[in-house]
Structure 1
Amino acid sequence: MSFTLDPRASYMMPAHFGPRPMHPNSSGWYHDVTAMTISYITDREKLAAYLPAPYEVDEEAVITVTYACSKNIDWLAGHGYNLIGVTAAVIHKGEKDTLRGTYTLVVWENLTDPILAGRELQGIPKIYADIPDHSLIGGKWRTNASHFGHKIIDLSIDNLRAPTEAELKLGAEMQEGRDNPMGCRYLAAAGGFGTAINEATLFPSESTVSEVQLGEGKVDWKHLTWEQNPTQFHIVNALAELPILGYLPAVVTKGSTNLVLPERFTRTLK
C-alpha cells in the first residue's frame, strides 16, 4: 500500500513520514521575547526596486531591522532561537485586498526548523545566519549576524529611556491598522528555472509588551564578496546600498508573541 496525503492534515517535506506532529502542549506562543527594533528612512525609488507588484512603498520609505531573542517557544518544546528581520513599510494594492503594513525583505535565523516552516508554509523569506544573544554593556545593547565567519550586520541601541505617555499614545496611533506582516511565497519550478508558486501572503501575529524603552539606534551593514558569503552576498550588499537618510527612535522591548491566530490565519492576498 503506497503513501497517500490526507487533505485535512498539514504536511512539510518529507511528507511521506506523515503530517506535522501536533502535541497537546504545542501552540504558537513565544513566551519570552526580547527585541531590538531600529527603523530608518531610505531612498524611495531604490527601495521600490525590491518590491514585487502589487506592493508599493508607503508614504514614507521606512526600513525596519528587528532582532528578536525568543525563548520558551511552545511549538519547539521550550527551545528558542534568534532572528534578525528586515521589513519595509508598504501598501498592498491587489484586485481584492488593499492593506497597509510591512513587507518582509529577508529574515535571518539561527535555527533550521523555523526557517523551513516559515518558508514553506507562510512565504517568509528566511535564511540562515549565526546570531548570538544580545549583549548589554554600559547601557548599550548590541547584536550582530554573520555567515561563513563573515559579518552581515551590526546593530546597537544606546541612550535608552522610558517613553512618555504621549510617545506611547503616538506609537499606538501610528501602528493602528498597519499590523499586517506581508511577504511573497516564491518557489521555483523543479530544477530551479521557471516558477511553481509566486503569491503574496499575509502572516499575522499578536504581541504583548511588558517592558519598553526608547533609544538611539545604529545599523551597520557590511559589504561582502562572493568568496566571503557565496549564497547571500547579493542580499547583504543590496540592503547595504539602500541609504540611511535618517533614523527614527529605536525601541527595546520584552514580552511575548503568538504566531498562530485561528481568527487571523496566514493566507494568500489577492
Structure 2
Amino acid sequence: MFKLDPAQPHIMPAHFGPRYTGEKTSGWYRDVTVMAVSYVTDREKLAGHIPAPFKLPEQATITVFYACNKQIDWLAGFGYNMIGVNAAVIFEGEHEQLTGSYSLVIWENLTDPILVGREVQGIPKIYADIPDHSVNGDVWRCNASHFGHKIVDLSIADLVPVSREDIEAGEASAKATDNPMTWRYMPGLGGYGAPAVNDAVLYPSENKFSEVHVGVGELEWQKLLWEQNPTQYHIVNALNALPVLEYLPAVVTKGSANLVVPERLTRALGPVASQN
C-alpha cells in the first residue's frame, strides 16, 4: 500500500509519489520581463478586500504587474506569463510587523505553477489567457482574458533607462519592504463551513535586474457579466471599482528571479481574523 513520506514534496494526486526535485529544479526563473503599473486608489474601498491582521498605509497603492517568465528551472526550461495585483500593506502580528505587498490575485496561463503556487505557497492564483507582451515603437502592451472576454489591458510608454548605479540603489532601498504576503484560505470539504486553512503567508523571493526603464503607465479593467466569466467576474468587477486617483511611475524591467530563497522560505505569519 502507498505510504506518504512527509519529508517529500507531494501535491495532489499524492499517491503517485513526490514531484521530482534535484539540481535541475531550482527556483530560478532565468529570463523575466516585467511591466508594472502602480496607482493610488480609494483607501476605504481597497480596505474592504484586505483581511486583518494586514492594514493599509496612509496612501493606498495598487501595483498591477505582468511578467513574461522564460527558462524556468523547475519547469525544465518551459515558461509562462502572469498578471498580478498587489496592494501595499503593513502586517501587524502578535510577534512581528512587516511592511510589504499583499497579493490580491494572480492570473497565470499555465496550470502547473497555479497548482504549485496555491497548494504549496498559498498564493491566490487563477487561470487566464495571457499572450506575450507587444512593443510598438515606444509603447509596451499586455493583456489578460478568460472565456474569450478581456479582463485587463496594460500599457507603458515614454520609457527612460535607469542607470546601473540607480538600479543598485533602488534594490538596496527596497530590501526593507521586500515582503510579498497574502492570505491563504482553503475551504473545508464541500466549500462551506469552517475553513481547512486560514492564515497569513510570507513568500519571499529575490530579483536581479539587468535593465530597468521608467515610464508612464495606464490600465483599463473591464466590467464583466456572470455570463461572460462565471468564475471570475466578481474579482474583475471589484478591481474595476477601485478608482485610479493618480498614476505613479511605471516600470519595465528585464532580469531573473529566484522563488526559493533558503534563508527566507515561505512561512505562515499567523492566523487571520475571522471574516464573519
Is the contact between residue 162 and residue 211 of structure 2 (CA under 8 Å) also seen in structure 1? no
State the shift of 1:185 in Å.
1.0
Q: Distance in 1 between matches of 2:165 and 2:33?
A: 23
Q: Distance in 2 between matches of 1:46 and 1:58?
A: 13
Alignment RMSD (CA, Å): 1.4
Structure 1: which amino acid aligns with 2:178? D
1:257 corresponds in structure 2 to 257
Is the contact between residue 66 and residue 82 of structure 2 (CA under 8 Å) also seen in structure 1? yes
Is the contact between residue 167 and residue 212 of structure 2 (CA under 8 Å) also seen in structure 1? no
1:244 corresponds in structure 2 to 244
Matches within 5 A, 1:97-176: 97-163=96-162, 168=167, 171-172=170-171, 175-176=174-175
Matches within 5 A, 1:17-28: 17-28=16-27
1:207 corresponds in structure 2 to 207
1:186 corresponds in structure 2 to 185
Q: Distance in 1 between matches of 2:213 and 2:221?
A: 24
Q: Distance in 2 between matches of 1:20 and 1:158?
A: 42
- For 1:126-179, what per-residue CA distance to the aligned partner results, in whole angstroms no more than 9, with x for missing partners? 000000000000110000000000000000000111236896577446523100
Q: Distance in 2 between matches of 1:174 and 1:234?
A: 36
Given the alignment of the two structures, is residue 71 of structure 1 paired with residue 70 of structure 2, yes or no?
yes
Compute the TM-score of the two structures, normalised by the length of structure 1: 0.96
2:229 corresponds in structure 1 to 229
- For 1:78-112, what per-residue CA distance to the aligned partner results, in whole angstroms no more than 9, with x for missing partners? 00000001000000001112100000000000000
Change (3 A) 1:165 1:265: closer
Q: Distance in 2 between matches of 1:168 and 1:189?
A: 45
1:96 corresponds in structure 2 to 95
Is the contact between residue 38 and residue 250 of structure 2 (CA under 8 Å) also seen in structure 1? yes
2:267 corresponds in structure 1 to 267
Q: Distance in 1 between matches of 2:225 and 2:6?
A: 45
Is the contact between residue 167 and residue 209 of structure 2 (CA under 8 Å) also seen in structure 1? no
- For 1:191-230, what per-residue CA distance to the aligned partner results, in whole angstroms no more than 9, with x for missing partners? 1102111010000000000001000000100000000000
Structure 1: which amino acid aligns with 2:46? L
Structure 2: which amino acid aligns with 1:35? V
Q: Distance in 1 between matches of 2:20 and 2:171?
A: 37
1:40 corresponds in structure 2 to 39
Which structure 1 residue ranges, 5 or more long, are not aligned? none
Q: Distance in 2 between matches of 1:62 and 1:167?
A: 23
Q: Per the alignment, in what secondary structure is the counterpart of residue 176 of structure 1?
A: helix
Change (3 A) 1:245 1:170: farther
Change (3 A) 1:248 1:191: same
Is the contact between residue 55 and residue 90 of structure 2 (CA under 8 Å) also seen in structure 1? yes
Which structure 2 residue ranges, 5 or more long, are not aligned? 271-276
Given the alignment of the two structures, is residue 196 of structure 1 paired with residue 196 of structure 2, yes or no?
yes
Size of the aligned set, in residue pairs, is: 269
Structure 2: which amino acid aligns with 1:111? L
Compute the TM-score of the two structures, normalised by the length of structure 2: 0.94
State the shift of 1:5 in Å.
1.0
Change (3 A) 1:166 1:74: closer
